[in-house]
Amino acid sequence: METKLEAAVIGGSGFTGLELLKILNNHPLVAVSFTTSKTYDGMEISEAFPSYSDKSCTKKLKFTVIDKIPKKELSTIDVIFLCLPPLQSMEFVNDHLLDFKGKIIDIGSDFRIKDPENFKTWYGTEHKLKNILPDFVYGLPEIYKEKIAGSRFIANPGCYPTSILLALAPVLKDESLMIEDINIDSKSGVTGAGRKVKPEYLFCSVNENFFAYSVLAHRHIGEIEQEIEKLANKNFKVSFTPHLLPVNRGIFTSIYCKVSGKGREIAAGNMESGKITAGILKSFEEFYKGSIFVKFLGPRIPQLKDVVGTNMCQIGIAFDDRTGTLKIFSAIDNLLKGAAGQAVQNMNIMLGFNEAEGLVV
Amino acid sequence: METKLEAAVIGGSGFTGLELLKILNNHPLVAVSFTTSKTYDGMEISEAFPSYSDKSCTKKLKFTVIDKIPKKELSTIDVIFLCLPPLQSMEFVNDHLLDFKGKIIDIGSDFRIKDPENFKTWYGTEHKLKNILPDFVYGLPEIYKEKIAGSRFIANPGCYPTSILLALAPVLKDESLMIEDINIDSKSGVTGAGRKVKPEYLFCSVNENFFAYSVLAHRHIGEIEQEIEKLANKNFKVSFTPHLLPVNRGIFTSIYCKVSGKGREIAAGNMESGKITAGILKSFEEFYKGSIFVKFLGPRIPQLKDVVGTNMCQIGIAFDDRTGTLKIFSAIDNLLKGAAGQAVQNMNIMLGFNEAEGLVV
Amino acid sequence: METKLEAAVIGGSGFTGLELLKILNNHPLVAVSFTTSKTYDGMEISEAFPSYSDKSCTKKLKFTVIDKIPKKELSTIDVIFLCLPPLQSMEFVNDHLLDFKGKIIDIGSDFRIKDPENFKTWYGTEHKLKNILPDFVYGLPEIYKEKIAGSRFIANPGCYPTSILLALAPVLKDESLMIEDINIDSKSGVTGAGRKVKPEYLFCSVNENFFAYSVLAHRHIGEIEQEIEKLANKNFKVSFTPHLLPVNRGIFTSIYCKVSGKGREIAAGNMESGKITAGILKSFEEFYKGSIFVKFLGPRIPQLKDVVGTNMCQIGIAFDDRTGTLKIFSAIDNLLKGAAGQAVQNMNIMLGFNEAEGLVV
Amino acid sequence: METKLEAAVIGGSGFTGLELLKILNNHPLVAVSFTTSKTYDGMEISEAFPSYSDKSCTKKLKFTVIDKIPKKELSTIDVIFLCLPPLQSMEFVNDHLLDFKGKIIDIGSDFRIKDPENFKTWYGTEHKLKNILPDFVYGLPEIYKEKIAGSRFIANPGCYPTSILLALAPVLKDESLMIEDINIDSKSGVTGAGRKVKPEYLFCSVNENFFAYSVLAHRHIGEIEQEIEKLANKNFKVSFTPHLLPVNRGIFTSIYCKVSGKGREIAAGNMESGKITAGILKSFEEFYKGSIFVKFLGPRIPQLKDVVGTNMCQIGIAFDDRTGTLKIFSAIDNLLKGAAGQAVQNMNIMLGFNEAEGLVV
């Protein structure tokens, strides 16, 4: 425990960055060497954000800016986390990390979409680092654990995609189900929008309120469809509709899949009892048997409150025989399993630690 | 203003009953003669519920029980509202109102489903008053205003069905759209569940939480499909999934309709701008031109906070060309447009008053 | 009902201004002729704020700016409401209303403090209209109803002062109680801060949070002490500590008065039962006998939810014999009884209408 | 790390018990051997409460009842936590633990008040175990750390008393301040009331609401005054008024102390700037220098959100020179520093661990 590995957090004052700093502050095997923030440069984290307190009484971590970090200090970093807005991660890597030898975990969105054309469609601009784009592994450990373990670069998944892909993976992998149509209705807490000071995120704009937004072209669709295709070996266009929930944290996703042909027989169950056939239940159970951070509830519906504050994803399912609709419900904490927690999970895997080290189940 | 018409409220201490008492307390043309509550029999309303204050300083309305009301007093009532749990309205009508000469507005659920077999399917028991069941007009004024005006008995729609049917009516009426599939994801505030003292409705169970419930067979489906069939002249089985929102009041409904063939061309629009063709916009605008209580927002998404405390239903739409999905969003206050407010709107129409008398737009 | 009186609302797009527009939109005897907003100039209110819908289907009220209002149109206005930030009302009156013949109700804070020196202490600047400052009646109808009825200019009380002065008036008037010390701990919903787009009013800054602010020198203290002195015929320095509640609307005030000497005997009661002597109870009951908008609950504690959405102030009391502390609790809706509602109550009184016209009890 | 010490949790299904189980589930040096719950006997914790997931994938902890625990198993327990309602801890100790050799931490309220007469006054019944009552150390580590380290029995402080005593200790210890009067206005989140299924704790009863309760004789007063007397060497009767906040967790306490004579000079500062003299600031800083779980903010006001989810107490102060009032504000998470977290802090101290082991700062 004496010699902890060294981490750096770029963009430590956003919701995700701060959450990451808190996790690492309590992590037994890793210590943060530096963290950056333009707004709070020179300020102690615990002063800028009283919700953060250094576990060590003697050393108080301060925010800095990247230009004040000597090259030499950067070279001793074992793992660097990027918590930057869209399009800034690739700039940062380009400017500062091209000859960095440690591991990079990008919690931003720049390295998730592998096809540069597709990236351009959803992010409206050319990708700056097409050459290293393929080296970034999509960091969803329940699906790509081995790849993550052997990788040096991670593209940490988006919050919505995490809640959606974990819910869909077992049924997409199961070809017998014949999924025909995927309709996704997600609901996110307000931290999902980041620390933006805009009228629509004021307390009186959100409290006792609810609404849909970005109803036609949310950027996460590109990432979702890319991964669905990889899971199903088949192209799907999904309808995705995000909504804003009057809660601080958490994403609850309801997915409606039309099931047809033989799949319908497999899925069909008893409407009154809400039971579904053993087949689908077993698919989920087996898929997530070894996964400490996914809890499959069977026909029980997950609740946001049961995952908030943890790195868990909870999933429940139901089959509506009247309409041939398989309903899958998932819940995660958007700042943990949907961002900083999953990033640390990826780090643990990459560094050979226990996957759950420093994380709350 | 001197001689107000006389109203009675059966079941005045539930959320809906109390809301109704408050509206009528401020209504310029109607006064409540009596209201019943077993729990609060003999108690002043303003004592049992400090949120209610009699507008008159001299007369304090008290709760009573129906057995203490002399037949003669009942006979002077112009309009009686029933705010009773499922299966109790038909018992009450059977026991007390078979020779009542005034108007009856049932805010309960017993007279909404017209086919007794269908009623049995969804409510699990034989209907007690099959003979007068057909006399109850489904009280959705934006669709059945004339019938309501000429009727003596009203079955006030359920809260979910109100939010759903108002959103769907213009597209169901428009055959050219070729709607193929209807998937409904509704989110309701907690008053929708009534004043039940159960662990799942405790503050700590709901606050900062969100989840789906009754995901396979919510009773409102029977009512929704009955009315959809009447609007579309066609049978639809709808997938309906209600969720519990951590807010006191309001229902936000997201409806996803698959549009095909010629309908898709009609609906197709510009993904980037979120615009949809003039055709569908015009359908909605024309359908609700004269309706004071429906506000069609076009491509703007409604928000719960803009309708809470009012009798309004606000509706917005979007067409996702990538997947051929027409998305319709509606917002109502479940206790007003979804219950007591719509009941007063029906009363106003039946009594020949201004439709908005005593109601907040 | 044909010829309504004409009102104008200056500053119609803030929380208070919009609330006022909504009340007047439903008022049977008054109609808004124009309303101003720099931000929304030229825009329909119902477009800028979908929560507002014109009761008339044919005429849509638009925001304008004062410079576009012809002098002639201003001269037909019966009552003008000012909903402006501190220091702007006196500018507006100076610039536009010096020869205005109608009634002025200032919901801002410029005309509440009568002593120009005192005004300067709390607002940090010289008063611009010392000559007409004395003409503004402090618009707390439960105390100054007659003066209000005979006045042309009203200084509508602040939200905190309303909740505090209504709670204190009966005991301050009663000299036998020998109040020695007044300690006020108030808690306000977020609309009390106005529609400010600042980090501290973001949803994630307020939700699941609570804190005190302006703990040493809140501006309302000047107004509170001025009115206490008038009521008690005695000078009091009060300790006042406002807190921010994670709710949209409402102020709950807890007042702790040390009672001494004979007052203590009068107040002393039974700790176990929470009863207090008939004497104090009677003081409150008599003081508020004729007041439709104050509900005295005796030893019952008021709750915020029972007044939100209404123009009521609810008050309850308790006497702690162990420490000689009289505890008074009051609850109001800060946007109604604390601002726009009380302004309309004042207008009703000034215009000779029923005091409760257009207001919800 | 191999051989963890063994803990038992009596009453594991209440809010505090469950919180404790979660902390211990993540504690590196202690493991729970058994936990009891009458309601959930035989059920896996993670099944009864999906918010709990066993960190070990192989062993699932189940609830049991005490009668099913063999005496032998009880004898191997190193530390037993009691999370029981008032009056039940002393029954449990009497029935099961009189010859228990391990450590006992009572999170209930039975062993806090040392004087049996005083206990009877506040709890209405005779104490059952007067002989061992003196052996229980009041478990407030920031004040009694050494005693705790040497003790076998701990009376874990109440949630309100923790927030109050930590805020008062530095000024009570400082005789030069001449505190004359202590008025406490506390605001607690709903978990403070436990998992009671009562109408007043329903979501719709609490959300968007706020009120005071137990305004005359809250049981915690006995405990608060006992400890104040020990700190100040002087008797104080305090006025204490608890309020219910519409949040899940957290207590915010505002304390108003009248300071007189020389104390007033010491405290006096600059009203405009909100600064207070270095003297009081230094008292607090020194008092809490070595305390990892108390963060003194000086003249900055603490916020509930900054402590929720942590074991921290944050404190800020202000001196109102106009009225001679020293205002002290404190914030804690009622389930952590106010209950389960502090209990683990006590356990860590008793077992010779790092005080913060397994706890979030």
Residues of B with catalytic function: 159
With contact defined as beta carbons under 8 Å apart, do B339 and B159 qualify? yes
- The percent of residues in chain C predicted with pLDDT above 90, rounded, is 86
Say if the ipTM goes beyond 0.90.
Answer: yes
How far D232 CA lies from chain A's nearest CA (Å)?
29
Helix (H) and strand (E) counts for chain A?
12, 14
Q: Supply the DSSP string of A98-149, one letter for each residue.
A: TT--SEEEE-SSTTS---HHHHHHHHSS--S-TTTGGGEEE--HHHHHHHHH
Which candidate from C57, C302, C360 shows the least CB-CB separation from B26? C360
Helix pair angle (A15-25, A340-351), 10° resolution: 50
Mean pLDDT of B23-35: 95
Contacts of B304 in chain D (CB under 8 A): none
* Nearest-Cα residue of chain C relative to residue D213: C301
Pairing of strands C103-106, A5-10: unpaired
Please tell me what DSSP assigns to residue A93. I
Place of tokens 């003297």: D279
Distance CA C8, CA C96 (A): 13
Among A120, A185, A218, A219, the strongest candidate for a mutation testing the B interface, having the largest count of B CBs within 10 A, is A185
With contact defined as beta carbons under 8 Å apart, do D251 and D160 qualify? yes
**Cα C356 to chain centroid, rounded:** 16
Give the number of other Cβ atoms within 10 Å of residue D68's Cβ: 11
What are A141's two structure tokens? 């450990």
- Band (pLDDT 50/70/90 cuts) for residue A269 is low
Instruction: State the amino acid at position D353 in one-letter form.
Output: F
Query: Which helix (H) or strand (E) segment is B242 a member of?
Result: strand B239-244
Which candidate from C57, C303, C307 shows the least CB-CB separation from B292? C57
Partners of residue A295 on adjacent β-strands = A314
How far C51 CA lies from chain B's nearest CA (Å)?
4
Lowest mean pLDDT among A109-123, B266-280, C163-177, D142-156: B266-280
Pairing of strands D325-332, D251-259: antiparallel
Contacts of B325 in chain A (CB under 8 A): 183, 239
How far A175 CA lies from chain D's nearest CA (Å)?
29
Contacts of C303 in chain B (CB under 8 A): 50
What are C153's two structure tokens? 């200019």
CB contact under 8 A, D207 and B246: yes
pLDDT exceeds cutoff 50 at C1: no
Q: With CA atoms as reference, report the closest residue to A294 among A268, A262, A330.
A: A330
Pairing of strands D63-64, D325-332: unpaired
How do residues C311-360 score in pLDDT, each as one tens digit? 999 999 999 989 999 999 999 999 999 999 999 999 999 999 999 999 99
Place of tokens 């006998």: C289
Instruction: State the amino acid at position B214 in one-letter form.
Output: S
Q: What strands lie across the sheet with D251-259, from one edge to the other?
A: D211-212, D239-244, D179-188, D251-259, D325-332, D313-320, D294-296
Which candidate from C190, C204, C208 shows the least CB-CB separation from A204? C190
Give residue B91's region: left, alpha or beta (phi > 0; psi -120 to 50): alpha
- Residue A199 burial (10 A CB sphere; 0-12, 13-18, 19+): exposed
- Band (pLDDT 50/70/90 cuts) for residue B331 is very high
D253 φ, ψ (degrees, to nearest 5): -120, 130
What are C134's two structure tokens? 């004395």
Cβ-proximal residues to A155 (8 Å cutoff; 6+ apart), any chain: A106, A110, A111, A112, A136, A137, A138, A139
How do residues C204-223 score in pLDDT, each as one tens digit? 999 999 999 999 889 999 99
- Residue D146 burial (10 A CB sphere; 0-12, 13-18, 19+): exposed
- Residue A231 burial (10 A CB sphere; 0-12, 13-18, 19+): middle
Please tell me what DSSP assigns to residue A302. P
CB contact under 8 A, C197 and A198: yes
Give the number of other Cβ atoms within 10 Å of residue A46's Cβ: 18
How far A300 CA lies from chain D's nearest CA (Å)?
10
With contact defined as beta carbons under 8 Å apart, do B221 and B122 qualify? yes
- The percent of residues in chain C predicted with pLDDT above 70, rounded, is 97
How do residues A201-231 score in pLDDT, each as one tens digit? 999 999 999 999 999 889 999 999 999 999 9
* Nearest-Cα residue of chain C relative to residue A15: C204
CB contact under 8 A, B199 and D197: yes
CB contact under 8 A, C215 and D305: no
CB contact under 8 A, B320 and A239: yes
Contacts of C193 in chain A (CB under 8 A): none
CB contact under 8 A, D318 and C216: yes
Mean pLDDT of B177-205: 93
Alpha-carbon torsion angle A296, A302, A308, A311, nearest 10: 10
Catalytic hit among A57, A83, A159, A204: A159
pLDDT exceeds cutoff 90 at C275: no
The domains located in chain B, with CATH, are: 5-156+339-351 (3.40.50.720), 160-332 (3.30.360.10)
Distance CA C245, CA C163 (A): 15
Which candidate from A55, A300, A306 shows the least CB-CB separation from D51? A306
A51 to A19, D343, D355: CA distances (angstroms): 10, 21, 19
Among C26, C51, C306, C329, the strongest candidate for a mutation testing the B interface, having the largest count of B CBs within 10 A, is C51
- Band (pLDDT 50/70/90 cuts) for residue B195 is confident
How far C207 CA lies from chain B's nearest CA (Å)?
9
Mean of the per-residue pLDDT values of chain B:
94
Contacts of C248 in chain A (CB under 8 A): 203-204, 207-208
pLDDT exceeds cutoff 70 at A285: yes
| pLDDT score for C217 | 83
Q: With CA atoms as reference, report the closest residue to A328 among A285, A293, A296, A292.
A: A296
Among C204, C205, C248, the strongest candidate for a mutation testing the A interface, having the largest count of A CBs within 10 A, is C204
pLDDT exceeds cutoff 80 at A154: yes
Pairing of strands A136-138, B79-82: unpaired
Q: With CA atoms as reference, report the closest residue to D46 among D33, D60, D56.
A: D60
CB contact under 8 A, D50 and A292: no
Contacts of D248 in chain C (CB under 8 A): 208
Contacts of B247 in chain D (CB under 8 A): 207
CB contact under 8 A, B204 and D248: yes
* Runs of H (alpha helix) within chain B: 15-25, 45-48, 71-75, 88-92, 116-123, 141-149, 159-173, 203-206, 220-232, 261-267, 278-287, 340-351
- Band (pLDDT 50/70/90 cuts) for residue C174 is confident
What are C165's two structure tokens? 């002065």
Mean pLDDT of A144-149: 98
B207 to A191, A202, B251: CA distances (angstroms): 16, 18, 17
**Chains in contact with B, where contact requires at least 3 CB pairs less than 8 Å apart:** A, C, D
Contacts of C331 in chain D (CB under 8 A): 210-211
Mean pLDDT of A346-358: 97
Mean of the per-residue pLDDT values of chain A:
94
CB contact under 8 A, B50 and C309: no
Contacts of D197 in chain B (CB under 8 A): 197-199, 202
Q: What strands lie across the sheet with D5-10, from one edge to the other?
A: D63-64, D30-36, D5-10, D79-82, D103-106, D153-155, D136-138
Cβ-proximal residues to C169 (8 Å cutoff; 6+ apart), any chain: C142, C143, C231, C287
| pLDDT score for B25 | 95
| pLDDT score for A263 | 76
Mean of the per-residue pLDDT values of chain C:
94
CB contact under 8 A, A361 and D25: yes
Mean pLDDT of B62-66: 97
| pLDDT score for B1 | 46
Segments of chain D scoring below 70 in pLDDT: 1-2, 57, 268-276
Partners of residue C80 on adjacent β-strands = C8, C104
Please tell me what DSSP assigns to residue C157. P
Distance CA A336, CA A314 (A): 13
A337 to A287, A307, B346, D237: CA distances (angstroms): 18, 9, 49, 49
Task: Find the length of chain D.
Answer: 361
pLDDT exceeds cutoff 80 at A320: yes
Pairing of strands B63-64, A211-212: unpaired
Instruction: State the amino acid at position D117 in one-letter form.
Output: E
CB contact under 8 A, A197 and C202: yes
Among D163, D180, D183, the strongest candidate for a mutation testing the C interface, having the largest count of C CBs within 10 A, is D183
CB contact under 8 A, C183 and D320: no
